[in-house]
Structure 1
């Protein structure tokens, strides 16, 4: 983005068509001089993660992890600094482009703390990929308000949702685990408002940056306990609801770590946050700056769950 020239833009989105599984420490990619690229519907480009941060033209990129190939479904402009989301989780930000395979495709380089592969992020073919402008770079005139205000239009329904939150707050499921579950479901659903909200709340509750950053790849991270892994697996299965629904093996693993009341609270936590995600995404609610979340007592149609 060029300050003073670039305004708001729509997101570029697509689907993963092939997952890649390897890393290299000597790849030798070369960063192109341009900071943005126009991409068209139907094009296929490669997603590559790196811990390099140098954005100068000609910079050599060696340490990389390969995520896969994305087919663009909604074209547009990808800029350096755009946030990259894949499979519902935030991956990192666009560093730039390598053209060693052009005109077949570009390598879209994504800055991350440590190079990651597709399996490490739990990616699979058909996973949604999005390139979104960072909230702070949207034009000052861009709306930060929802399309409609549910709290004012349907106060009884909104208060019913608040009632669910009040139940969860007194449920036997530990509060730190509830926040991890809410954050992971929000990542999967691509709800930027809820992702920022629950990351903010989890941090206030004592969660470390390392654990929060690792949540999107919790299966490959040593940061989570067996009980947390069981809860996160159930959260993902109940949020995605694939052809198998929630497999018996996933449920049985959760049941090995939680009693029936805790399992009931876990199911209700997943159901409630999925409802909030769908409300926020449908009404166009976007993330507020840090510390700018409103309490339930303000009838503004937002939530602090």
Structure 2
């Protein structure tokens, strides 16, 4: 780590924590929140966050197989249609194209989630994308176990 962002700028860190606390209070099921965080962190290459959220999702009873296969979620039947819709949204909102979220993904998400939950999903995706930028930029490393 280059320096400890939480101590050199505690106000910024507290702002990030408040945003994170909001996302933790959404109606989105905790396992799905963690799967989204892992998938977005995989896309962004944040080893620290992948490790942290893999540990967190295990605490919620997630299977090792679903964690390991998350980067290939389209290729397996292990994820529900709602989870697949949320993961598709997470990918689209993380790697923004010039067209934004495709209509097909938008409609797929709304088949399984309310409009409020759609916004909650976007908040979770934005939260982890922000944390990933800290993790990658500051070279945060997972603790060896």
TM-score with structure 1 length normalisation?
0.47
Unmatched tracts of structure 1, length 5 or more: 1-145, 291-305
Find the aligned partners of 1:194 and 1:227 in 2 and give their Cα distance.
23
Find the aligned partners of 1:244 and 1:259 in 2 and give their Cα distance.
22
Q: Which has the higher helix share?
A: 2
Deviation at 1:266, TM superposition (A): 0.3
Runs of 4+ in structure 1 over 6 Å off: none
Deviation at 1:244, TM superposition (A): 2.2
Contact 2:23–2:127, Cα closer than 8 Å, also in 1: no
Q: Which residue does 2:65 correspond to in 1?
A: 210
Unmatched tracts of structure 2, length 5 or more: none
Q: Which has the higher strand share?
A: 1
Q: Which residue does 1:229 correspond to in 2?
A: 84
Max radius of gyration: which structure?
Answer: 1
Q: Does 1:176 align with 2:50?
A: no
Deviation at 1:251, TM superposition (A): 1.0
Q: How large is the Cα RMSD of the aligned pairs?
A: 0.9
Aligned residues: 145
**SS of 2:71's equivalent?**
helix
Q: How is 1:127-138 mapped onto 2 (pairs within 5 angstroms)?
A: none
Per-residue CA deviation, residues 3-37 of structure 1 (Å, 9 max, x unaligned), is xxxxxxxxxxxxxxxxxxxxxxxxxxxxxxxxxxx
Deviation at 1:200, TM superposition (A): 0.8
Q: Does 1:150 align with 2:27?
A: no
Q: Which residue does 1:280 correspond to in 2?
A: 135
TM-score with structure 2 length normalisation?
0.96
Which structure has the higher relative contact order (CA within 8 Å, separation 6+)? 2
Deviation at 1:243, TM superposition (A): 2.6
Q: Which residue does 1:270 correspond to in 2?
A: 125
Find the aligned partners of 1:250 and 1:173 in 2 and give their Cα distance.
18
Contact 1:185–1:239, Cα closer than 8 Å, also in 2: yes
- Pick from 35, 44, 49: which aligns with 1:194? 49
